[in-house]
Structure 1
Amino acid sequence: MSSSVAGVLAVALLVAALWITYRPFGDYMYRVFTSKRHLRVERAVYRLTGVNPEAGQRWPVYARGVLAFSLVSVLLLYLLQRVQAYLPLDLGFHGVAPPLAWNTAVSFTTNTNWQAYSGESTLGHLVQMAGLAVQNFASAAVGIAVAIALVRGLARRRAATTQAATAGGRGDFPLGGGSGTGDELGNFWVDLTRAVIRILLPISVLAAIVLVAGGAIQNLHGVRIVDTLAGGHQAITGGPVASQEAIKELGTNGGGFYNVNSAHPFENPTSWTNLVEIYLLLVIAFSLPRTFGRLVGDRRQGLAIVSVMAALAIASFAVGATFQALHHGTVPTAVGAATEGTETRFGVPNSSLFASATTLTSTGAVNSFHDSYTSLGGATLLFNMMLGEVAPGGTGSGLYGMLVLAVVTVFVAGLMIGRTPEYLGKRIGSREIRFAALYFLTTPTLVLLGTGIAMGLPGERAGMLNSGAHGLSEVLYAFTSAANNNGSAFAGITVNTTWYNTALGLTMLFGRLLPLLFVLGMAGSFARQQPVPATVGTLPTHRPQFAGMLAAVALIIVALTFFPALALGPLAEGIHA
């Protein structure tokens, strides 16, 4: 079987698995966030933390909960790394240096999982489990919670009703327990707890068992010296790998237990576990549109959103795989593919599929070396992140990113026909558009400003392995990955420096928290509105025409914003080659 045929079959199998999951999993998440019943373990968590699960929250209170939880998480994870040498299961490692500890704490709290260190030689098992793995669950749950809050704002049909209204149709639905005024978005702590306990934790346990069955390791072993086939010796670190790998992919986190991430056989042993991991990093993001459709009372809206996500994702893989096949140079031509930096057990098609999936989501896990991709293949990965990671995007962040795009699309369409724009019965005015504009301006500002400063500093340019267009691509990729909370790297630059640890840490922090605030502000604005009845002039947002417009707006925003930077980096390199 040729590699191209194998790649097509892998994509077909993945699409089939996601489509089979779309309805039941989306419906399950709908029930999770509309149920008025609290599980016993959830009630114990609320008592322990002093949370009143029956209290609803307006958007400023909900946002303060998100910010407080995130900032406290950064502090605790920072302290855990600094005192590592005094903790059990430290494997003899010292405490992490302050700049790197800051960068790593921000990285895992913001769902970025950018790693400026080698995991197996820097962090002990306790920090990996109690620090990084815990944040893998928490940061993913925050993204889901914010997405659900935005959907609640859109779904509000009455402005002064209680949350106790019966779910269903296009009316109000329960916010996970409690009652309150109609402009409340739910309770952040309830949403966070339910996302972890009812969604992320049980699936991660099952996924870890599957990965162990496929050959991933799960133990508490320290460093062991083994004999190699060449007669030498090698130090290999064991650890609780499968459990961390499961939530790393499911929560679109991406931080690897080992330095080479999902290219390591202990993390990703075979070609079929590779497909399982790709499925895990896509399944929640592709199923949330079904949840959205159920919550707004129109399943067609969810189908419209997921169709755009799927079309962009398939196009990305096709383009990326094609550019990898259109190799140049003596060695790639001789072997028939651009195989440098690619694991032989995966091959070029499965590596391209993994790379597309991980950059289209905010995962950042890698099973191949992105710096070794062809110039235009690497440009595709950059473009995926610059798209805002909405196809399907991160856990929760993909859905709310696509919904903000939908708001902009409806606004543009309204300007074209001279009608006040409406989306799901809510008017889109200046306040909503300001939130949307701030949302879309945040990431480009961080990316272009950070890249420009880095390229202007002689010391940071000296840390680049490559010069010219490829060197610019490496720096541009680093800041694009950080600002979009992706975490993958082109590599080729030394980033474990005080400047890069600080600059990328700030980029990750602002790239996560500012968009979250703008999304919640938009959700609160929608929640306060009275519904607008649909008329013959209302733009239908469930038809293929709107889906096409939505995809076009997403592509145009990226082209207008990032084309100059891409032209100086990977595109210039591709033309020169």
Structure 2
Amino acid sequence: MLQITLTLAIFILAVIPMGKYMYHIAAKKKTFADPFFDRVDNGIYKICRIDRKGMNWRTYALSLLMANAVMVFVGYLVLRLQHGLFLNPNGIDGMEPTLSFNTIISFMTNTNLQHYSGESGLSYLSQMLVIIFMMFTSAASGYAACMAFCRGLAGKSKDLGNFYEDMVRITTRILIPWSLIFGLVLIWQGCPETFGSNITVETIHGKLQDFAMGPIAALEIIKHLGTNGGGFLGANSSTPFENPTVITDIVELISMMILPGACVLTFGKMCQERRKEEGKTKEPLFGKQGRTIFAAMSVIFLIGLTLCFVSEKAGNPVLETAGISQDMGSMEGKEVRFGIDQSALFTTVTTSFTTGTVNNMHDTLTPLGGLVPLLHMMLNCVFGGKGVGLMNMLMYAVLAVFICGLMVGRTPEYLGKKIEGKEMKLVALVLIVHPLLILGFSALAVSTQAGLEGISNPGFHGLSQVLYEFSSASANNGSGFEGLSDNSYFWNITTGLAMFFGRYIAIIAQLAIAGSLFAKKKTKVSVGTMRTDNTIFTILLIFIVYIFAALTFFPALALGPMAEHLTLWFS
């Protein structure tokens, strides 16, 4: 508990200054690093001939899609042709077409779902030019869309901003500098960073064993900082090369959490109104709107963390019956150097902040322990990925305001803007497409021979594997229960489509909502205006999220992890 408390305390202390710094970047206000980064950014604008003119939501969305499409095309070619390119000391062949499709969509959508093992499936060139590069650009794309969305809701700027300028500023001023700093910490603790080929050693038993080498630390830090996920090695952050010590484990946890949390505080700063106290203009530490959203996310996160931790500590009753001690809890699939505490925290963080990296095997979690990451990916709003989780939670906030408005017979308002039919149709689209992709593709998988061939576990756990795979893909998370034989035409194509539609349909609809609200005039606050910056709204928002999850996902969860739990404990 001390380890968990310490990690969360570091997060709270770090997220406040980071949120303020990100607000200054999004609002183009002065920062201490401007003298250096202004020169870097201006050089990039000049070389790339970037017109920094403000954009409406349509132009912004089109720019995002076109930039992503170009990177997908180039990355796909590199993966297919990597066998003939340089920086391939281990002689790895080019990727198969459907696997290349799945991989390039996965990393461009900030999902990083891997149907391959990194050390045997990619050359060093592909690891850097495709994987690491897209970890930067996909994270920057999500943040840029979020800032445009926040500008639209706040309505304090002349337009939604410029996509290319936002991309450049978040990359040069946040992602690259912090990757260098945290990356050096990982190298200090033992993460390899080399272009040397794999090393073959003789074990104490006289056998030969290969150790994968490469630019591991560079990929490791941006996969966490950009809430990407994936891994240089197949076993991900459970391996000593990717995650050697408890120090690196905490660094990776904080890296995952800090930018999504800071995005919420940035939103609060953008929406807050200056107020005068004692004749001076004073701003709260972060805006009340941001505080409300942050509190709702935190409560849902802590409920999930508690359930996962308690469930893993309770262990497996089947082993208890067999006389096997469970004093340490369920240690199956977990690293001894992390234990239950860090494993439960890592599991909850990686699926709440939609990163997808793992430091233990999720397939071996207890049923209720596995329910937590599965549910949080289904919700896709518990902090979520970089910027995207905030936008999804704001959809629930708009829904909560709309429902309360209907109950009292008043036109709903959010941040001083009236919520009307057009906005609610778009909100409904965003909230419905996610469960549609998860449940629709899961139904297809369990009803076709191609889908059934990939399921390795019978019964309830097999269904949980399927639900987890498509929840991870649709939520752009990337972690896996594993156990699935997922490198096949069926799984590569279906999860690729789930990742693509789960990312871009939501972002386009959310930018359209921002554009619609941005064009509306602010209404004056009156006695009947519903406040969205107090404790009551926080509680209401939490209930709306859980009720929506129950209505859409409860039947599927009841047939998966819940049924498995009841079978273990009461059969």
**Quick check: TM above 0.5?**
yes
Q: Conserved in 2, the CA contact under 8 Å of 1:147 and 1:397? A: yes
What is the match of residue 136 of structure 2? Answer: 137
- Name stretches of at least 5 consecutive residues in structure 1 with no aligned partner: 1-7, 157-171, 174-181
Which residue of 339, 346, 351 corresponds with 1:354?
Answer: 346
| Structure 2 letter corresponding to 1:380 | V
In the alignment, does 2:413 pair up with 1:425? no
Residue 301 of structure 1 and its aligned partner are, at CA, apart by 1.1
What is the match of residue 160 of structure 1? Answer: none
1:129-528 correspondence to structure 2 within 5 Å: 129-156=128-155, 172-173=156-157, 182=158, 184-298=159-273, 299-331=287-319, 334-336=325-327, 337-388=329-380, 390-528=381-519
With the length of structure 1 as denominator, give the TM-score of the two structures. Answer: 0.92
- 3-state SS of the aligned residue for 1:491? coil
**Following the alignment from structure 1 to structure 2, what is the Cα–Cα distance between the partners of residues 143 and 459?**
33
What is the match of residue 61 of structure 1? Answer: 59
CA shift digits 1:217-243 (9 cap, x unpaired): 111121110122322111111111111
CA shift digits 1:168-219 (9 cap, x unpaired): xxxx24xxxxxxxx4x211111111111111111111101011111111111
- 3-state SS of the aligned residue for 2:325? helix
**Following the alignment from structure 1 to structure 2, what is the Cα–Cα distance between the partners of residues 11 and 349?**
7
CA shift digits 1:88-143 (9 cap, x unpaired): 11121111111111100000000000000010011111110111001001011111
Q: Conserved in 2, the CA contact under 8 Å of 1:99 and 1:502? A: yes
Between 44-53 and 427-436, report the one with greater CA deviation.
44-53
What is the match of residue 116 of structure 2? Answer: 117
- 3-state SS of the aligned residue for 1:221? coil
Residue 42 of structure 1 and its aligned partner are, at CA, apart by 1.5
Between 531-540 and 106-115, report the one with greater CA deviation.
531-540
Between 97-106 and 398-407, report the one with greater CA deviation.
398-407
Q: Conserved in 1, the CA contact under 8 Å of 2:272 and 2:288? A: no
- 3-state SS of the aligned residue for 1:234? strand
**Following the alignment from structure 2 to structure 1, what is the Cα–Cα distance between the partners of residues 42 and 129?**
22
Residue 462 of structure 1 and its aligned partner are, at CA, apart by 2.3
- 3-state SS of the aligned residue for 1:335? coil
Q: Conserved in 1, the CA contact under 8 Å of 2:347 and 2:373? A: yes
Between 465-474 and 325-334, report the one with greater CA deviation.
325-334
**Following the alignment from structure 1 to structure 2, what is the Cα–Cα distance between the partners of residues 289 and 341?**
34
Q: Conserved in 2, the CA contact under 8 Å of 1:221 and 1:237? A: no
Residue 459 of structure 1 and its aligned partner are, at CA, apart by 3.1
Number of residue-to-residue matches in the alignment: 544
What is the match of residue 277 of structure 2? Answer: none
Q: What's the % identity of the aligned pairs?
A: 40
**Following the alignment from structure 2 to structure 1, what is the Cα–Cα distance between the partners of residues 453 and 268?**
51
**Following the alignment from structure 2 to structure 1, what is the Cα–Cα distance between the partners of residues 450 and 222?**
37
Between 337-346 and 222-231, report the one with greater CA deviation.
222-231
| Structure 2 letter corresponding to 1:66 | L
| Structure 2 letter corresponding to 1:96 | M
**Following the alignment from structure 1 to structure 2, what is the Cα–Cα distance between the partners of residues 564 and 461?**
20
**Following the alignment from structure 2 to structure 1, what is the Cα–Cα distance between the partners of residues 72 and 358?**
24
Q: Conserved in 1, the CA contact under 8 Å of 2:316 and 2:326? A: no
- 3-state SS of the aligned residue for 2:200? strand
- 3-state SS of the aligned residue for 1:386? helix
**Following the alignment from structure 1 to structure 2, what is the Cα–Cα distance between the partners of residues 34 and 214?**
36
**Following the alignment from structure 2 to structure 1, what is the Cα–Cα distance between the partners of residues 202 and 67?**
46
What is the match of residue 572 of structure 1? Answer: 563
CA shift digits 1:523-553 (9 cap, x unpaired): 0001100111111111111110001111111
With the length of structure 2 as denominator, give the TM-score of the two structures. Answer: 0.93
What is the match of residue 84 of structure 1? Answer: 82
**Following the alignment from structure 1 to structure 2, what is the Cα–Cα distance between the partners of residues 100 and 73?**
17
**Following the alignment from structure 1 to structure 2, what is the Cα–Cα distance between the partners of residues 437 and 523?**
15
**Following the alignment from structure 1 to structure 2, what is the Cα–Cα distance between the partners of residues 331 and 573?**
15
What is the match of residue 21 of structure 1? Answer: 14
Q: Deviating runs (4+, > 3 A) in structure 1?
A: 329-333
| Structure 2 letter corresponding to 1:435 | L
CA shift digits 1:272-308 (9 cap, x unpaired): 2111111110001111122111111241111111111
Q: Conserved in 2, the CA contact under 8 Å of 1:85 and 1:93? A: yes
| Structure 2 letter corresponding to 1:40 | R
- 3-state SS of the aligned residue for 1:145? helix
| Structure 2 letter corresponding to 1:114 | L
Q: Conserved in 2, the CA contact under 8 Å of 1:111 and 1:362? A: no
| Structure 1 letter corresponding to 2:525 | A
In the alignment, does 2:29 pair up with 1:30? no
Between 518-527 and 231-240, report the one with greater CA deviation.
231-240
Residue 44 of structure 1 and its aligned partner are, at CA, apart by 2.1
- 3-state SS of the aligned residue for 1:226? strand
In the alignment, does 2:520 pair up with 1:532? no
- 3-state SS of the aligned residue for 2:228? coil
CA shift digits 1:21-61 (9 cap, x unpaired): 222111111111122787222222222222211x1100000
Residue 330 of structure 1 and its aligned partner are, at CA, apart by 4.6
